A and B are shown apart, each in its own frame.
Chain A
Amino acid sequence: MNGTPLIPSDVDRQHYHLAIIRETAAELGGMRHPKDILESFLMSAQGGIGALGGFAVLTDKMSELTHLTVRGENTISHGQIKALIKTASDYILLNAERFPFFIEPDTFLPLSYGFSLILACPIEGDRLAFLGLAPAMHRRDYDPEDRQLLMSLSSLFQISLNSTLFSTRVELLNAELEKRNTELDRQVFHLNGLRELSMEAGESVDVEKFLSAFLPTLLGRFSRSQGLVVLHDRAAGVTWLKSMGIEPIPAMASLPIDRLLFLCLAGVQYKRIQPLQAEPVLQIEPLFSLIPGFVPESAFLFLVKDQMYGAVLLGNPLEEQKISEQEKELLSAFVAQSVLHLKNADSFAAIVALNKNLEDQNQALRETIDELTRAEHRISVLELAARRIAQMVNRNAERIMQMRLLDFVLIIGISIVLGALFNLQNPKGISFFPQARPDGIKSITTSDADKLLTEENALLIDARPREFYELGHVKGALNVPLSLFDAVYKTRFSNEDPERPLIIYGRNFSRLFDEAVARKFLNQDHERVYLFLGDMNNLLVPGGHK
């Protein structure tokens, strides 16, 4: 395509033009760079119409040249091309042309700098491409065939350039996307780290265990080789210290924890840290020499709750690269999340302690309830016993006020016993049982008594007490009361014939006076003593009865 053959006829010329168009299309199809496309377009156009030289330019949105190709014999400078293009650009943008068109040099561009044809080609994205061709060889004028060829070539050029620019934009976008994807992957990686940390923290509600899991996760996620975390609970007087990758291993006793935390506080921007907040330590230099074998690259000071605070110190990254702001933000979020988990662990510990306390109190309460239940049972038993006692007391009180057969039995029984015993030992005691009538005392009938009285001068004796005798007695009867027997016998019977029959009467319902007196007479050796048991009024006595 570099040679310019003479075209003998229009048909041959059209064939030639078509061949140029075909070859140009094939060539442009494999090109990706705008400069290459411009060069190919200029060569095809210049060769196709036999121009002595030309230029092809591509501008950006601001009508500034981005690509420029000059060929052939011409003396136009870059400045002139710029001026030319600037003027043309204003016109094209003003009219919003979309398809290639020729710019007539005489009409629109007073300064054509000797170029016979100037073709303007709008490109996507408000960009413009210009083709300027010098006059043809042999001073031939360009005819419509030449213009047609150029239009066709410019269409190809436009399509190819648009495609290339589009591809370039797509590639740029892809690159940008890939970059962003990489960044996103990193963020996802860190967020996964946060999620894993949350999951691990969710399984671990112990501060010690959490710190043991947190530090390796933090160092791993952010590619740190050394790290240290310290947590101090001032109220409880407990301090936790975890470190990784630091040689020698910092010991709790030797590490100036208070100074460490103080320096961290001095290095933060906002001194009034709120609970669950983590502040980055901006002035980290004072910490460099605090821990042997460890020079922290970044540090965070956090407050879990009032009187419970700590710090996280991280060493340099494994890869020597500057940490992006986004990573710093992620690191800060990581630490903040960890503080939240620490708070949860601390709260859990407090809850466990409360539960333990509650459990102890519940146990004490249960024991108290059991004791109360037992006491209540005892009280119930005692109350029941008290009621029964009260009932017994009332019954006893009623019983005491009541008479019982036993009372009478006891009174009479005791009386009988005492009476019997006393009577036995009493010299004046009397016999309980009546004495049997002695054999020497016989009872007689009325007629026998009459006979004895009349024939044998029997003596009639009234044995009743004097009072009864005074009330009435048989005339002639002699009163010999039992109580006065001895006196009467002495005075009256001392000289009496013991053979003289004695008829004694005077018994009643309550007393056998006659038998008692008859016994007395018998004891006085009177042999003939008789008891008259009949009615004394029936006795026939001299003088009757009194």
Chain B
Amino acid sequence: MPGLLLTWIRHPLTALMIRFYIGGLFIYASLNKINFPAEFSDNIAAYILVPHFLVNPMAVFLPWIELVSGVCLVAGIRVRACAAVICTLLGLFTTALIVVLLKKTPIDCGCFQNVGDPVSRVTLFRDLVWLAMGIYVFRYDSLIHLDRLFMIRPEDLDGL
């Protein structure tokens, strides 16, 4: 049983599905924030972790980083780098959530919508799960990489 579980854990298809999920998640999460940068900047400011002169740049660029990373992750372009970016973002988000929870600041998460998603332990757990997924994709993903689509693979050169 543990062997079968381990096999499924290490299976490239499992990593592929998780990769698609995380990539799609970030694409979805970025769309609202790209359209409403002012509201997202308020969400960022609510955390009181980012200096005021960086709030607006972050509100503009952070969603795009999420979008580009998510698209590249889904497409299989520079997967490990995108997975690292996403894991970094998730790490930052998780750290911010921990600080907010410790401060007991009643703010919205701002992950998918500007309002109606208050920060809680569930939010923290959710982010940790996503972070684990991101790390998993970074470690085990190997299938359907667009940047290797037209590349000659080493296994094609058996015998050389």
Contact = CB atoms under 8 A, between A and B. Distances in A.
A201 to B, nearest CB: 65
Contact of A511 (B36, B55, B106): B55
A85 to B, nearest CB: 124
Interface of A: 386-387, 389-390, 393-394, 396-397, 400-404, 407-408, 410-412, 414-416, 418-420, 422-423, 426, 428-434, 465, 467, 471, 483, 507-512
Interface of B: 34-38, 41-42, 44-53, 55-57, 59-61, 63-65, 67-69, 72, 78, 80-82, 84-85, 106-107, 145, 147-148, 151-154, 156-157, 160
B69 A434 contact: no
What 4 A-B pairs have minimum CB-CB distances, sorted nearest first? A407-B81, A419-B64, A415-B64, A511-B45
B87 to A, nearest CB: 11
A411 B70 CA distance: 11
B47 A510 contact: yes
Contacts of A428: 35-38
A418 B47 CA distance: 25
A510 B44 contact: yes
B49 A510 contact: yes
B115 to A, nearest CB: 10
B85 A430 contact: no
B84 A510 contact: no
A400 B72 CA distance: 13
B81 A408 contact: yes
B148 A416 contact: no
A412 B69 CA distance: 9
User: By CB atoms of chain B within 10 A, which of A411, A416, A434, A483 has the most?
Assistant: A411
A465 B115 CA distance: 13
B92 to A, nearest CB: 14
Contacts of B42: 465, 483, 511
Contact of B80 (A403, A418, A420): A403
Contacts of B82: 407, 411
A510 B45 contact: yes
A411 B52 contact: no
25 contacts: A386-B157, A387-B160, A389-B157, A397-B154, A400-B147, A400-B148, A400-B151, A401-B80, A407-B78, A407-B82, A411-B69, A418-B64, A419-B61, A426-B35, A430-B56, A430-B60, A431-B56, A432-B57, A465-B46, A467-B107, A471-B106, A483-B42, A509-B48, A510-B51, A510-B55
Nearest to B82: A411
A510 B37 contact: no
Contacts of A431: 56
Contact of B81 (A404, A416, A509): A404
Contact of A467 (B56, B106, B151): B106
A510 B154 contact: no
Contacts of B50: 509-510
Contacts of A400: 78, 145, 147-148, 151
Nearest to B38: A430
A432 B157 contact: no
Contact of A419 (B63, B154, B157): B63
Nearest to B49: A510
Contact of A393 (B36, B38, B81, B152): B152
B157 A393 contact: yes
Contacts of A423: 37, 60
Nearest to B83: A403
Given A416-B61, A430-B56, A508-B48, 12 more contacts: A387-B160, A393-B157, A400-B147, A400-B148, A411-B72, A419-B61, A428-B35, A429-B60, A507-B52, A509-B51, A510-B44, A512-B52
Contacts of A465: 42, 46
A429 B52 CA distance: 17
A386 B160 contact: yes
A390 B154 contact: yes
Contact of B151 (A387, A393, A411, A508): A393
A394 B157 CA distance: 10
B64 A416 contact: yes
B157 A429 contact: no
User: By CB atoms of chain A within 10 A, which of B50, B52, B72, B84 has the most?
Assistant: B52
B95 to A, nearest CB: 15
Given A387-B160, A512-B52, A411 B85 contact: yes
Contacts of B78: 400, 403, 407, 410-411
Given A400-B148, A415-B67, A430 B52 contact: no
Contacts of B68: 411, 414-415, 418
Given A431-B56, A510-B51, A415 B157 contact: no
Nearest to A414: B68
Contacts of A420: 60-61
Contacts of A508: 45, 48
Contacts of B152: 389, 393
User: By CB atoms of chain B within 10 A, which of A401, A415, A426, A432 has the most?
Assistant: A415
A488 B27 CA distance: 36
A415 B72 CA distance: 12
A412 B64 CA distance: 8
A505 to B, nearest CB: 15
A393 B154 contact: yes
Nearest to B66: A415
A389 B160 CA distance: 9
Contacts of B51: 509-510
Contact of A408 (B36, B41, B57, B85): B85
A432 B56 contact: yes
Contacts of B72: 411
A435 to B, nearest CB: 10
User: By CB atoms of chain A within 10 A, which of B35, B37, B41 has the most?
Assistant: B37
A411 B75 CA distance: 14
User: By CB atoms of chain B within 10 A, which of A407, A412, A428 has the most?
Assistant: A407
Contacts of B156: 393
A176 B59 CA distance: 148
Contacts of A412: 61, 65, 85
